[in-house]
Amino acid sequence: MFEIVSLLHASLLVADLAQSRRFYESVLGLKPSPARPEMSFTGIWYDIGAAQIHLICLPNPDPVSERPSHGGRDRHTALGVHNFDALKASLDTAGFSYTLSQSGRRALFVRDPDGNALELVAME
């Protein structure tokens, strides 16, 4: 019997890598990984603990206009955050709207410039 033991990475499709990098780096504070393997398309990796987020600059086959306004009702990637209030301030300053978790936890849902939903959960 096998056992799945960890999440290695989540890949997100983006249309404009420069615009996405501004969101992930300037707003969320992630740092690009220097260990990105060479691929046939542009993209970037961000290390998050032992896992990674991989932004892939390819056409998105899924419609983004009909997604629910609350990212918790859509496919999403959940990330743990220290200093949740500073994260909210960064999103507010950058003009990104978000919704708070409906479960009552200190968590919020935000969409990146391409409509990918992220759940950001306070880990304090």
Residue 2 included in any domain: no
Q: Is the pLDDT of residue 94 over 90?
A: yes
Residue 93 included in any domain: yes
Whole-number pLDDT of residue 4: 66
Whole-number pLDDT of residue 51: 92
CB within 8 A of 119, min separation 6: which ones?
A: 71, 72, 76, 77, 78, 79, 101, 107, 108, 109
Residue 109 included in any domain: yes
Whole-number pLDDT of residue 75: 84
- For the chain, what is the largest distance between any 2 Cα atoms, rounded to a whole number of angstroms? 49
Task: Give the structural domain span for 23.
Answer: 9-59+68-122
Residue 33 included in any domain: yes
Average pLDDT over residues 97-110: 92
Q: Is the pLDDT of residue 55 over 70?
A: yes
Residue 84 included in any domain: yes
Q: What pLDDT digit, counting tens, does each position of 30-44 carry?
A: 999 987 777 888 899
Which CATH number goes with the domain that contains 18? 3.10.180.10
Name the residue with higher pLDDT: 86 or 75: 86
Count CB neighbours of 43 within 10 A: 18
Q: How confident is the model at residue 120 (pLDDT cuts 50, 70, 90)?
A: very high
Q: How confident is the model at residue 6 (pLDDT cuts 50, 70, 90)?
A: confident
Average predicted confidence (pLDDT) for the chain: 89
Residue 3 included in any domain: no
Residue 75 included in any domain: yes
- Count structural domains, the chain: 1
Residue 106 included in any domain: yes
